[in-house]
Amino acid sequence: MDLLERVQRRATKMVRGLEHLSYEDRLRELGLFSLEKRRVQGDLIAAFQYLKGAYRKDGEGLVTRASSDRTRGNGFKLKEGRFRLDIQKKLFSVRVVKHWKRLPRGAVDAPSLEVFKARLDEALGNLV
């Protein structure tokens, strides 16, 4: 557990009335996510923006839409880009593709970033 997660764990214990609950229950009561889920949330938001046309030059080839019409689940599958250098980009694409595949169709088909964020929060909230 990293330092920030410990700080968040300790801060949630300071909320009067929630001291006796587990960390996950305190987060749920406060409407918060763990830092790991917040990282995933940020990655998925960046991927959604990229797929909608933002970051074209910076993230060229980072993730691409899978060409198969035979998909189960959300129908908007991604595949990882290939990189020889810059391992950070590859790690980002691996993280995004792994979690993107588990999103519901309503989230990935969202017409705007605001709608995507709301649907993403709902999907991640079910994983708490």
pLDDT for 76: 63
Q: Please tell me whether residues 9 and 46 are part of one structural domain.
A: no
Tens of pLDDT, residue by residue over 65-104, are 665 555 555 656 676 655 555 565 557 777 788 888 888 8
Q: Please tell me whether residues 45 and 94 are part of one structural domain.
A: yes
Tens of pLDDT, residue by residue over 33-74, are 888 888 889 989 988 888 887 666 655 555 666 655 555 556
Task: Work out whether strand 63-65 and strand 78-80 pair parallel, antiparallel, or are unpaired.
Answer: antiparallel
Residue 2 is given by DSSP the state -
Q: Please tell me whether residues 28 and 41 are part of one structural domain.
A: no
pLDDT for 49: 87
pLDDT for 100: 85
What is the count of structural domains for the chain?
A: 2
Q: Please tell me whether residues 10 and 56 are part of one structural domain.
A: no
This prediction's pTM:
0.68
Q: Please tell me whether residues 107 and 54 are part of one structural domain.
A: yes
Q: Domain range holding 87?
A: 34-125
Give the CA radius of gyration of the chain. Answer: 17
d(CA 40, CA 60): 20
Q: Please tell me whether residues 58 and 6 are part of one structural domain.
A: no
Q: Is 67 exposed, middle or buried (0-12, 13-18, 19+ CB in 10 A)?
A: exposed
